[in-house]
Amino acid sequence: MERSFRKEVAKLRLGEGEVFHGEGILAVTKALLQSGVSYVGGYQGAPISHLMDVLADAQPVLDELGIHFEPCANEAAAAAMLAASVNYPIRGAVTWKSVVGTNVASDGLSNLASAGVKGGALIVLGEDYGEGASIIQERTHAFAMKSAMCLIDPRPDLEAIVRLVEQGFALSEASSMPAMMELRIRACHVHGHFRTRDNVRPRFSHNDKITQPDFDFGRVCLPPATYAQEKHKIEHRLPAAIDFIRTHKLNETYPGETDEIGIIVQGGICNTLLRGLAQFGLADAFGTTKVPVHVLNVTYPLVPDEIAGFCAGKRAVLVVEEGQPEFIEQAVNAILRKADVNAVVCGKDVLPMAGEYTAETMLRGLDGFLARHAPASLGAGEAVARVGRLLAEKDEAAKAFGPNLPLRTPSFCTGCPERPIFSAIRIMERELGPVHVSADIGCHTFAALPPFNVGNSVMGYGLGLASSAGLAPSFGKRLVSIMGDGGFWHNGIASGVIPAQTNGADGVLLVVNNGYTSATGWQKLPSSVRGPDGRPRVLSIKRALKGLGIRWLCTVRTYSVGRMVAMLRTAMTTAEKGLKVIIADGECQLARQRRIRPEIARQLAGGKRVVRTRFGVDDDVCTGDHSCIRLSGCPSLTVKPSPDPLRSDPVAHVDNDCVGCGVCGEVADAAVLCPSFYEARIVQNPTPLDRALARLRGGTIRLLGGLRRAA
Ligand code: SF4
Ligand code: SF4
């Protein structure tokens, strides 16, 4: 795992009245234990990967309480776990990254939401929306509305988050609706404190088992029960949820100092709003605001009378709602018209329809709203003018830079074992011409960016091979499909390999086997060498493929660029029909470095001989054409001025971050570039033999150098 929570999980044992200090994601875990959950599960993905990591590290605490924890095969499996709460009064929580995970889980979620729940069911979602996001930009809100699930969007404050987790279960039980809680990245990592309560032993668990199965056809998703379930959502569940939200004051109102204007904000971006208001002198660092603010900690369902009450008598109200479509703004308009409240509703007219509401975006939106509607009594006129001038200056500066600023795109890590696969594809293309590559989700998706630009389409996690199915029969060359080991087990084996076999597909599949779900923080996979508990794992991608009848199958070490090119060439040109699979093997370099660093430190401290490999470029040989950089893309490969005064082109240079994977040299060799690369071995704690050899080599080099000068 990227991060261990072994020390922090001690805080999960805090009892009544103690004070927890720490991070949002850990507070969520503590809140789950205080809520008496019986089971937890999920599938990792930013920004909630750490929740899975915390739960894995908290296994001893979970065991004591009898709570079952299951890292699921994918999000659909996690959603299906919640079936336990359909029939029995037991509480459960699952987690994944949204919206991609919610897409995968949506079949299970529709069935769950239709059947309704007896025990509280909470889905903790990492809402990966905005500038740091790595996925398609959509909102979870639409899922909540279509399936009638409550959507909690807590204010990023630990007390608020913990209260809403606990109340989320109660809300779910009161309304029979599953509750989703969306946590943006800032909420996951916000630090703070809250007063803890004792952990609650679940009513049913490992320790206290259910003895009688429950059968109720009304909870089975089959007609005619489904018709009654839909009516139940409208007639009972939604009204019950609205009643609970109102009665338990899940939403919050800050009164402010004016009756003329107000702001309605999603809980998750409340801090950004208050920070923005502070820039106008209308709020302080502790959240006291002069403009009345209604914080929607639950964004679905809305409570109509709460909203109408907040807006009544105001001239204008700003709805701060991140993303599109403007579900909340539309709903507020409808609520106000029905209640005959005549406040002007602003929102997407002053704030952008799409994209994250960063601090600057918020400032621009507030500036637009306040300039039009702020009453003089707030005394914000001067601040509004000042912020307006500042933003205009920023716009001028951006215009001066023009569209020519280079993009800072992400890339593979130094020494990544996935990079050489794409160098090999590029080298193969020199012989066979351009190929169509159906890419997949994972670190390997970075290959679509420069310098490789390999990857023509991305359709979803584990869907690389499936996304070749439509094009392959109509394409004049075999397609290359990519799939990571994470994607393979998540669904690629079922949605890609099995259909390819049964439908007689004739293509090339590259399974990138780096041993972890690296992009989400190195969680273990079914085929990882060891599980999180350190025990060896038994599943193997190779055996699974053989079991499915794949005959053309080979494993290639990714760093062996020459062999990878040769196998790709063969797979693309062989007369043999059917799916040809190359398992590209190479441990994630970042995980490997973390794994071996403590071991190396131990060896050095114990006086043991340690050899590190580094690569370099010989300045005298490098011609400065930089093909190695274009074909390797390693961030450690850079340029420096040529030491030769007669050559103006900079030469290639390997900087100090090099981990000695050897790919640059391999690529130079496989692509027949030049012999500039050399390998150097750095020996720490050398033996007498090492020292003698070093003296001998140094002497020989000096001697030959002297002879050359003399000649
Ligand atoms: S995390 Fe691992 S697999 Fe991903 S880019 Fe870095 S080295 Fe490569
Ligand atoms: S050996 Fe080459 S490719 Fe590998 S990390 Fe060093 S510079 Fe990068």
The residue behind tokens 């409570």 is 303
- Verify cis geometry, omega within 30 degrees of 0, for the bond prior to 645: no
CA distance 312 to 617: 72
Nearest CA to ligand 1 atom 6: 413
pLDDT of residue 275: 96
Kindly give the distance from the C-alpha atom of residue 518 to the centroid of ligand 1, in angstroms, as a whole number: 6
Cα–Cα distances in Å, from 54 out to 7, 12, 30, 449?
10, 10, 10, 33
pLDDT given for residue 709 in this prediction: 67
For residue 414, give the ligand 2 atom closest to its CA.
Answer: 5
Structure tokens at 661: 């994977």
- Give the ligand whose atoms come closest to the C-alpha of residue 593: 1
Verify whether ligand 2 is closer than 6 Å to residue 343 (CB atom): no
Mutate to test the pocket of ligand 1, among 1, 423, 443 (most ligand atoms within 8 A of CB): 443
Mean pLDDT for each 10-residue chunk of the chain (711 residues)?
A: 78 97 95 98 90 91 96 97 98 97 98 98 95 89 98 97 98 98 92 97 93 95 98 98 98 97 98 96 91 98 98 98 97 98 98 96 97 95 93 91 79 94 96 97 95 96 98 97 97 98 97 93 90 85 98 97 97 98 96 92 95 89 86 90 86 91 86 85 94 93 77 66
As given in the structure block, the two tokens for residue 456 are: 């023509």
Q: Which amino acid is at 257?
A: E
Distance (Å) from CA 481 to ligand 2 centroid: 26
Atom of ligand 2 nearest to the CA of 632: 3
CA distance 216 to 592: 51
**CB under 8 Å to 214, separation ≥6 — which residues?**
87, 88
DSSP 637-694: EEEE--S-TT--SPEEEE-TT-----HHHHHHHHTT--S-EEEEEEEES--HHHHHHH
418 CA from centroid of ligand 1 (Å): 7
Q: Which of 544, 453, 450, 557 shows the shortest CA–CA distance to 497?
A: 544
> What gap in Å lies between CA 598 and CA 570, rounded to an integer?
41
Q: Which ligand gives the minimal distance to the CA of 419?
A: 1
Residues 509, 514, 517, 520, Cα dihedral to 10°: -110
Give the pLDDT confidence of 268-292 residue by residue, as tens digits: 999 999 999 999 999 997 889 999 9
Give all strands (DSSP E) within 424-524, no chain letters.
437-439, 457-458, 480-484, 508-513, 516-517, 523-524
Ligand 1 atom, smallest distance to 411 CA: 5
Ligand 1 center–CA 622 separation, angstroms? 28
Distance, CA 413 to ligand 2 centroid (Å)?
10
C-beta of 443 in contact with ligand 1 (< 6 A): yes
- Ligand 2 centre and the CA of 632: distance in Å? 9
Substitution candidate for ligand 2 out of 559, 663, 679 with most atoms within 8 A of CB? 663
- 369 Cβ below 6 A of ligand 1: no
Residues 6+ apart with CB under 8 A from 455: 437, 439, 445, 447, 448, 482
Ligand showing the shortest atom-to-Cα distance for residue 663: 2
Of 387, 366, 186, 385, which is closest to residue 289 (Cα–Cα)? 366
For ligand 2, what atom is nearest to the CA of residue 655? 7
Residue written as token pair 């979870």: 140
Task: List the beta bridge partners of residue 582.
Answer: 510, 554
Most informative mutation of 452, 518, 634 for ligand 1 (most atoms within 8 A of CB): 518
pLDDT at 286: 83
Is the C-beta atom of 518 inside 6 A of ligand 1? yes
> Measured in angstroms, how far is the CA atom of residue 288 from the centroid of ligand 2?
53
Residue whose entry in the numeric block shows the structure tokens 């994918």: 74
User: Which stretches of 574-687 are DSSP H helices?
Assistant: 589-605, 627-632, 663-670
Residue 559 confidence (pLDDT): 94
Per the CB < 8 A criterion, the answer to whether 150 and 178 are in contact is yes
Q: Is the CB of 74 under 6 A from ligand 1?
A: no
Give dist(CA 664, CA 654) in Å, integer: 9
Structure pTM? 0.93
Give dist(CA 253, CA 103) in Å, integer.
33
Confirm or reject: Cβ of 590 under 6 Å from ligand 2: no
Q: Using a 6 Å cutoff on CB, does residue 414 contact ligand 2?
A: yes
What confidence tens digit (pLDDT) does each residue in 56-104 have?
899 999 999 999 999 999 999 999 999 999 999 999 999 999 999 999 9
Residues forming a β-bridge with 481? 438, 509
Task: Tell me the CA–centroid distance for residue 622 and ligand 2, in Å.
Answer: 16
- How many C-beta atoms lie closer than 10 Å to residue 7's C-beta? 8
Taking the centre of ligand 1 as the mean of its atom positions, its distance from the CA of residue 558, in whole angstroms, is: 13
Strand partners, 653: 638
Which ligand 2 atom minimizes the distance to the CA of 419?
3
Contact 621, 444 (CB under 8 A): no
Residue 328 CB-half CA count within 13 A: 32
Q: String of b and e for 606-616 (b: at least 16 CB within 10 Å)?
A: eeeebeeeebb
Residue 536 near residue 530 (C-beta atoms within 8 A)? yes
Query: Counting ligands in written order, which one lies closest to the CA of residue 446?
Result: 1
Provide the pLDDT for residue 534: 80
Distance between CA atoms of residues 64 and 49, nearest Å: 23
Residue in 49, 412, 423 to alter for ligand 1 test, most ligand atoms within 8 A of Cβ: 412
Atom of ligand 2 nearest to the CA of 667: 3
Q: Could you give the CA distance from residue 180 to residue 93 in angstroms, rounded to a whole number?
A: 10
* C-alpha closest to that of 318 among 291, 346, 348: 346
pLDDT in the model for residue 710: 67
- Return the ligand 2 atom nearest residue 634 CA: 8
**24 three-class SS:** helix
